[in-house]
Structure 1
Amino acid sequence: MTSRKVTKCLLGNILEEVDMSQIELSRRTGIHKSQISSYVNTRYGKTMELAHARKICKVLGIDNPYDLYEWSDNVTSRRTDD
C-alpha cells in the first residue's frame, strides 16, 4: 500500500520563480502576511488551509493546490508473515 506525505511547502520557491514578495501575495490574497510567512517557512508543521491554498493558486496561476507541496511516497507493506 502506498500513501503520500507532504515533505515541504514549495511556496517560497514559487514566489521566487515568479518574482513576487510575500507581502504582495498577502495583499493580493487577503491572507495576513504572518500567515504567508509561516507557510513559506513551514512553521507549525501543518499544511495550509484549503481556502488559503485555493486563493494562493488563483493569484499564482497554479491549477492544483497539491502543486504547492513536495510529496514523498511512503510504501507500507500489507504482507503478514503467519
Structure 2
Amino acid sequence: MPNISRGRCLLKLRIAEAKTTQAQLSRRTGYAPQQISNWVNNREKMSYEAAVLCSYVLNCHAEDLYEWHFS
C-alpha cells in the first residue's frame, strides 16, 4: 500500500489566489492571526478541521493547502 505524507503548507499561496490577507482569514475563521502565521510559515500543521474551514473560506479543497508526497 502506498504511503502519503504532508509536505510544505501552501496556505500563503491560496490566500494570495483568493485575493485576501492572513488577517482577513483570521477574522473569517476565528483562528488567531498568530495561528494563521504558524501554518503559513510551516511552524505547525493544520488540523483536518482547520484545513476544511480555511479551504471553505478560500474556496478551494482542503487537499490544496499542502504539498502531498506519495511513496
TM-score (norm 1): 0.77
The answer on 1:50 being equivalent to 2:44 is no
| Deviation sequence 1:52-75 (CA, Å, 0-9, x none) | 11211111112x31221111112x
1:39 positional shift: 0.4
Identity in percent:
38
Hey, which bits of structure 1, 4+ residues long, moved more than 2 A? none
Quote the Cα distance in structure 2 between the aligned partners of 1:4 and 1:13: 22
Quote the Cα distance in structure 1 between the aligned partners of 2:63 and 2:17: 17
| Deviation sequence 1:29-58 (CA, Å, 0-9, x none) | 1011100000000004xx211221121111
1:54 counterpart letter in structure 2: V
Q: Which structure is larger by alpha-carbon Rg, 1 or 2? A: 1
Q: CA RMSD for the aligned pairs? A: 1.2
Unaligned runs of 5+ in 1: 75-82
TM-score (norm 2): 0.88
5 Å-filtered alignment, 1:52-67, equals 52-62=50-60, 64-67=61-64
The size of the alignment, in residue pairs, is 71
